[in-house]
Amino acid sequence: MKTTILTVAVLLVTGISMTSCKKDYVCECTKTYTGNSTTVSSDHSKYTYKDTRTRAEDRCNDNDDSGSDAFGDYSINCQIQ
């Protein structure tokens, strides 16, 4: 009986310690235009992810982008704050 209780307690502690801590992480993105020897940066977007830090960083980095539009070439860089 004691070994059963001890085994259950060990499994419970192991299970709790292996679960990841999910929190709210804020991902802030800036959009930077470059061209004609000028660089202009501005806040672009902000996202909140309720996840582990690693997954939130991965999801945030998925928002990075680059391209061009009517205002010129741009890059979007996102980071967890």
Q: Is 46 within a domain?
A: yes
Whether this model's pTM surpasses 0.85 = no
For residue 1, the 8-state DSSP code is -
Q: Is 10 within a domain?
A: no
Contacts of residue 53, Cβ cutoff 8 Å, sequence gap at least 6: 23, 25, 80
Query: 5: pLDDT confidence band, cut at 50, 70 and 90?
Result: confident
Q: Is 57 within a domain?
A: yes
Higher pLDDT, 19 or 59: 59
**Domain span at 47:** 22-80
The pLDDT, as a whole number, for residue 71 is: 84
Please, what is the average pLDDT of the chain? 86
Taking a C-beta distance cutoff of 8 angstroms, is the pair 47, 26 a contact?
yes
The pLDDT, as a whole number, for residue 14 is: 55
Domains: count for the chain: 1
The CA-to-CA distance between both ends of the chain, in Å, stands at 50
Tokens 């309720």 -> residue: 50
Q: Which of 5-14, 18-27, 55-64 has the lowest mean pLDDT?
A: 5-14
